[in-house]
Every structure is written in C-alpha cells, then in structure tokens.
Amino acid sequence: MPSISRRTFLQTAAASAAILPFARSANADPLGLPIGCQTWPVRQLIAKDFPGTLKQLSAAGFKSIELCSPVGYATMGFGGLQKYSGADLRKVINDAGLTTVSSHFSLDELRKDQPARIAWAKEVGLTQMLVASLGGPKNPTADDVKRAADEYNKIGERAHAAGITQGLHNEDFECSTVDGKRVYDMLFELLDPSYVKFQFQVSNIQYGFDAADYFTRYPGRFISMHAQGWSATQKKIVPIGQDSLDWKRIFTAAKTAGIQNYFVEMDLPLMQASVPYLKQLQV
C-alpha cells in the first residue's frame, strides 16, 4: 500500500477565500458533540489573522477547533501563535465563541521537551495531544514498528501521568504494511490502551480503511476522528453529506469506539458545505 499523508490530498483554499456564514440549527449535532474543524486547512489565514479566522470559523457554524502546535508546526503557518501565552491563546479562542481540547504536535517536539509541551497544553486547556504519525521508515519491518510503539508508549505514559490523553493519527507509516499486515493494525496490539488512544482519518476509506469497521473492531480505543466526505464514483473528497459514506453508520459505530470529538478537515469550501448536513444529522 502506498504511503499517504493528509497533507497530500487535503487541498487548501486560497488565503483570500471567505467563509460564508450558515444559520444556526435547533437540531442536535451528531451524538450531541460540537461540530469541530481542524485548523490545518486554514493555516494560511491563521498566519495572517488568527482572531479574525476564528471568528469566521465560528460564523460558519463550527463550535470547536483542533489546533496545530505553534512549535512543531512553526514553519507551516502556526509559528505566529507563539506570541500568545497559553492562557491568552485560550482567551482568543473562547472570545470567538469556540472551544478547544485537542491539538496536533510533532513527534520531534515531544522527543525534545515533552514536559514543556504538556505544560503549554494544560495552560491552553487541552486534554488531548495528538501526533500525525510515528514517522517510521517507508518500508518498515516488524522490529521498526515495535521500536516506534515502545517509544510512543513511553510518551503516552508521561502524558497520562500529567492528566493528558495521548493520541495517534493514521498517516504514512501507519498505512504501510509488514508482510501483508497493516502497521495500523499492528499498533493496536503494541500500543498500551491505558496510555495511547487513536484518531481516525475518515477519508482513508480510499485506501481501504473503513471508519465504522475500525470503530467496531477496536471498541474504546479511539478519542476522535478527522471527517471528510468521499465520493466513490468521483474518487475524490467532497462535502460531508454529498458523498458515498454512510455517516449514520459511522457515528453509530463511533459510540462503541469511544469518540469524544470530531473535526472536519478539508479545504474551506468543502468544510463550509459540510456544516448544514452535520447540523441536521440525527444519530
């Protein structure tokens, strides 16, 4: 299976793109969870005007955001957020009518100074710290996977001791195989469920990773998901609700998985177009 990255297929809109507001709906959101979005697709806007971007996201109907670390993602549009203290950053987010409990961090920054990153996370009010990938070799061996899992178990144990849930996304390394077995599946066996949870990339259905199947097979192992619509006929990412996926099935299985939050993650027009469907979806 070829290695992939959400960075590869998530096309960002031009920095000048405007987010059109949607009217608030009285209907409950899926599972009663707030509609969230990952901030990676709006990184160019964040680099120019963080408070303004947050207000636009709130006006579009999002209620929560997932951050990317100003340290680990400094060269990718988030470095300017280092000017805020953790408490000030939380205030800017809350002032825009949003909440945040989750952020992505680079594995490298956790290796270098995890205590400092945990301290920052707690100041912001985060309860979840994620990494996109364990970053192993392109063609790993079983020993490579075990070494990566052993290291991440230690990272997860330290986070757990600090009251933080450590999570793992599924990107390049996790989507590779060893002797025909997915590394992702191997990690469910190697990572300690007491210390490490998982975050699922729904659009990986294009590579055979079915969200509802994983949620059902590994109950209690997930904390969140990145949500994208996927058209099986067009073979591309499309707005949620205008796609081929059975979202009622996905969210129903998410109850078993232990999903605590979800974040829409697509380019801006697609994120906007997904909000009305999510507002009316009853699960």
pLDDT digits (tens, 9 = 90+) for 11-24: 333 333 333 333 33
Q: What is the pLDDT of residue 150?
A: 98
Average of pLDDT values for 267-279?
95
- State the chain's mean pLDDT as an integer: 91
Residue 18 lies in a domain: no
Q: What is the pLDDT of residue 3?
A: 36
Position 135 confidence tier, pLDDT thresholds 50, 70, 90: very high
pLDDT of residue 28 exceeding 80, the answer is: no
The two structure tokens encoding residue 240 = 């949620």
> How many domains are contained in the chain?
1
Residue 5 lies in a domain: no
Q: Give the integer Cα–Cα distance in Å for 132 and 135.
A: 8
Share of the chain above pLDDT 70, in %: 90
pLDDT of residue 102 exceeding 50, the answer is: yes
How far, rounded to the nearest angstrom, does the alpha carbon of residue 140 sit from its chain's CA centroid? 24
User: pLDDT, tens digit, for every residue of 46-67?
Assistant: 999 999 999 999 999 999 999 9
The two structure tokens encoding residue 278 = 């999510």
User: pLDDT, tens digit, for every residue of 69-90?
Assistant: 999 999 999 999 999 999 999 9
pLDDT of residue 112 exceeding 70, the answer is: yes
Residue 140 lies in a domain: yes
Position 29 confidence tier, pLDDT thresholds 50, 70, 90: confident
pLDDT of residue 9 exceeding 50, the answer is: no
Residue 16 lies in a domain: no
Q: What is the pLDDT of residue 27?
A: 46
**Residue 129 bridge partners (DSSP):** 103, 166
pLDDT-wise least confident of 4-8, 130-134, 243-247, 270-274: 4-8
Q: What is the pLDDT of residue 22?
A: 33
Residue 121 lies in a domain: yes
Grouping H, G, I as helix, E, B as strand and the rest as coil, residue 12 is coil
Amino acid identity, position 112:
K
The angle that helices 86-95 and 107-124 make with each other, rounded to 10 degrees, is 60
Q: Which long-range contacts (CB under 8 A, 24 or more apart) does 203-209 make?
A: 203/6, 203/9, 203/228, 203/230, 203/237, 204/4, 204/170, 204/175, 205/230, 205/245, 206/230, 206/235, 207/1, 207/4, 207/175, 208/1, 209/170, 209/175, 209/184
Residue 255 lies in a domain: yes
Domain that holds residue 182: 27-280
Handedness of CA 235, 238, 244, 247 (dihedral sign): positive
Residue 178 lies in a domain: yes
User: pLDDT, tens digit, for every residue of 232-271?
Assistant: 999 999 999 999 999 999 999 999 999 999 999 999 999 9
Q: What is the pLDDT of residue 21?
A: 35
Grouping H, G, I as helix, E, B as strand and the rest as coil, residue 231 is strand
Which of 170, 238, 235 is closest to 201 using CA atoms?
170
Residue 2 lies in a domain: no
State the CB neighbour count (10 A cutoff) for residue 229.
Answer: 23
CA 10-25-39 angle, to 5 degrees, is: 25
pLDDT of residue 194 exceeding 90, the answer is: yes
Q: Give the domain CATH number at 39.
A: 3.20.20.150
CA 99-100-103 angle, to 5 degrees, is: 165
The two structure tokens encoding residue 229 = 């619509």
Handedness of CA 8, 104, 155, 261 (dihedral sign): negative
Q: What is the pLDDT of residue 4?
A: 40
How far, rounded to the nearest angstrom, does the alpha carbon of residue 262 sit from its chain's CA centroid? 7
Grouping H, G, I as helix, E, B as strand and the rest as coil, residue 276 is helix
